[in-house]
Amino acid sequence: MRVVAAPDKFRGTASAAEVAAAVGRAARAAGWDCDEVPMADGGEGTLDALGGPNRTTLVTGPLGDPVEAAWRLHRGTAVIESARASGIALLGGAEENDPISASTYGTGELIAQAVELGARRVIVAVGGSATTDGGLGALRALHPVQRLRGIDIQVATDVRTRFVDAAEHFAPQKGATPAQVELLRRRLTRLAQVYEEDHGVDVRPLPGGGAAGGLAGGLAAVGATIVPGFDLVADELGLDELLEGADLAVTGEGFLDAQSFEGKVVGGVAELAGALDVPVLAVAGEVYDGVGDRIRAVSLTARAGADRSRAEAAALVEAVVAEHLATMG
């Protein structure tokens, strides 16, 4: 009997690797084999899922302070998380952000460094940013953009928000007032026109172009491709091949709701496993109404309350999976 452990991170509680390891312990204790495949969907955690950092570069943070940003370069492929250079967590949260000034310049510096060091393919994961600059900072750091000619840049995202809509959808989470949201929306509208004039690409209709406050669209203007983050990670890790012939797939995330089935890890694992007739168990910190009819799900909060340390979360996941495996014989 074999289980595939393919969870996302439980934000603020446990990493995807820690959750996968907990599933693995439960499986082996029950006499099962286990493939541990920590997953991500283009947001934070994508770098770790794709092998982890092996480079560090000093870049410009979202508000101009220097930041040591970790990234990966291996066999001509670079993996960059915009959150490591331009993330809101670097500032301590939305209350410390200046949503009008926050810039993706540091992310552009990382891409430029990757290309300078020989990367021919660059994966840019775009979750957790502090920015709504439409990628203008990144493109300034990449000037002249002709250096990107022949470079395969893939922007991995878990949203389909369009470029101009990034202001309304994301800027409030980054500390923007209603007046600032309107200012940012007008700025993105004008920037889209500039991108079309300068690069011949209309970024406004691109699904996902608004990811990271329009960073995805800005990079698309200079030749990048916007791709579903889960699909990219799953392909890189060969998840479909691992699921083939498995007896159970275990996935999970911190908050399981309807959005979990729109480009997120849980929905992606469920879809792949379903196509291969592999049953799925989802373990989540919290499970919201309307999910139970779509997937077998267990809420850790319902079992043990909301306050958990990393060790306690991992132990709960291990216990839940052990109970489920016992029912499967």
pLDDT in tens, 257-266: 888 998 899 9
Which range is most confident: 132-136, 157-161, 258-262?
132-136
pLDDT of residue 303: 81
Q: Which range is least confidently modeled, 7-11, 19-23, 121-125?
A: 7-11
For the chain, what is the mean pLDDT?
Answer: 95
pTM: 0.93
Task: DSSP for 228-268, please give it.
Answer: EHHHHHHHHHTHHHHHTT-SEEEEEEEEESGGGGSSSHHHH
What HEC string does 193-210 produce? HHHHHHHCCCCCCCCCCC
CB atoms within 10 A of CB 323: 11
pLDDT of residue 306: 65
Domain map of the chain by residue range? 2-32+247-327, 46-230
Evaluate if residue 310 carries a pLDDT over 70: no
Share of the chain above pLDDT 90, in %: 86
Evaluate if residue 97 carries a pLDDT over 90: yes
Residue listed under structure tokens 């600059």: 133
Token output for 110 = 């990382």
Evaluate if residue 288 carries a pLDDT over 90: no
Q: Which range is least confidently modeled, 41-45, 108-112, 288-292, 297-301?
A: 288-292
The sign of the torsion formed by the CA atoms of 203, 129, 161, 156 equals: positive
What average pLDDT does this structure show over 156-173? 96
Evaluate if residue 290 carries a pLDDT over 90: no
What average pLDDT does this structure show over 202-227? 98
pLDDT of residue 88: 97
Evaluate if residue 221 carries a pLDDT over 90: yes
pLDDT of residue 307: 66
- CATH 3.40.50.10350, domain 2-32+247-327, yes or no: yes
CB-based contacts of 221, cutoff 8 Å, min separation 6: 135, 139, 195, 196, 198, 199, 201, 203
Q: Which range is least confidently modeled, 67-76, 95-104, 147-156, 251-260?
A: 251-260
What average pLDDT does this structure show over 98-118? 98
CB-based contacts of 150, cutoff 8 Å, min separation 6: 120
At the topology level of CATH, where does 46-230 sit? Glycerate kinase, domain 2 (3.90.1510)
pLDDT of residue 308: 63
Q: How confident is the model at residue 69 (pLDDT cuts 50, 70, 90)?
A: very high
